[in-house]
Amino acid sequence: MRSAIFLTTVIFSFLSNRGYTQGCSDAGFCTIGNLGQQSDASAAKQKISILLPFGLGDEDVLVFNPAIQYDNQLSKTWAVQAKITASYANGNLGNAGGPGDIFLSGTYFFPSQKNRWQVSATVGTKLPLNESHLKEKGLSLPMQYQSSLGTFDLVTGIAFTNKKWQLAAGWQQPLSGTNGNQFLPVYWAGNSDASRYIPSNDFKRKAELLFRSLYKYKPNQRFSFNGGLLGIFHLGKDTYIDANLSNKPIAISGSEGLTLNATLAGWYNISKKLQLGLQAGVPIVVRDKRPDGLTRSFVVSPEVSWNF
């Protein structure tokens, strides 16, 4: 009980810091395969999880990103994961909701000796369920409201874990070029709120690198916690096209660079088959502009998992 009270207190202390963190629950980069924060659950071969992340984005857009995830430890050396997401967003330009993405990944665990570092490698993909073109009253909404980034992505990663630490690095590369978003503030004539959002017509996102370092703590058989740092480095300037100015891509200055978050997570094993979890994060360093719509002033992600 003391562990639960401590976890709740620390997470709400995180949330009281009203900064901006990159919402990895949207892109999936931070949670796929061995790149995600791992619970110290019972050694179940299969697991189904319901994920319920929500947060507050740019211009106070409320975003809810539910997901269903399936994990299968096929053998000592192979594991697979599948996840499907959705989204609902509500803000000063309206509201929108729809299916998000499908994530598929496979992880290979290299042979290791007991009590030594376990090395694993993940390869996966993100498949969009829409072109990032959700609308309000016939007008394309900015990326903050979209349920998908609208691109096919390749994700790879490597992780080193032991009983106390998890170190991971990953790479996410969009493969399909521009998405189908058509938001330009000029299309929202007479709406001053629209001018506060970054243009994203024919939005093209650059690749990202991920670095994660976290410390794991397990006070007893029911509770497990971890906390650490999550860095995401955007490898270039994102672009959009404004045909009123030019048909050439326009680079968004400040969209490149580092986002660094502090993360905290905790899980409670109700039984061998049922587990509850909660994750949160706060920003330390942010990019000047984040046109992908993943900015969050807070993120909370409750989850429930069934092991079988």
Tell whether 109 is covered by a domain: yes
pTM for the model: 0.90
What is the number of other CB atoms lying within 10 angstroms of the CB of residue 35? Answer: 30
Q: Cα-atom radius of gyration of the chain, to the nearest Å?
A: 19
pLDDT, residue 43, reads 57
pLDDT, residue 41, reads 57
Tell whether 308 is covered by a domain: no
**CB proximity list for 13: less than 8 A, separation 6 or greater:** none
pLDDT, residue 27, reads 56
Q: Identify whether the C-beta of residue 24 lies closer than 8 Å to the C-beta of residue 296.
A: no
Domain residues for 252?
2-296
Instruction: Give Cα 58 to chain centroid, integer Å.
Output: 16
**What's the domain count of the chain?**
1
Average pLDDT, consecutive stretches of 10 residues, N- to C-terminus, the chain (308 residues): 49 46 56 82 80 90 96 95 97 96 97 87 96 95 96 96 95 94 95 96 96 95 95 96 92 95 94 94 86 86 95
Tell whether 306 is covered by a domain: no
pLDDT, residue 42, reads 45
CATH (domain of 31) = 2.40.160
The span from the CA of 106 to the CA of 162, in Å, is: 20
The span from the CA of 14 to the CA of 262, in Å, is: 9
Calculate the CA dihedral of residues 130, 135, 139, 140 and round it to 10 degrees.
-40
Q: Identify whether the C-beta of residue 152 lies closer than 8 Å to the C-beta of residue 176.
A: yes
Per DSSP, what are the bridge partners of residue 251?
A: 239
pLDDT, residue 30, reads 85
Tell whether 268 is covered by a domain: yes
pLDDT, residue 19, reads 46
pLDDT, residue 207, reads 95
Tell whether 134 is covered by a domain: yes
Tell the residue number behind the tokens 């810091």, with chain if given. 17
Tell whether 304 is covered by a domain: no
Q: Identify whether the C-beta of residue 2 lies closer than 8 Å to the C-beta of residue 10.
A: no
pLDDT, residue 257, reads 95
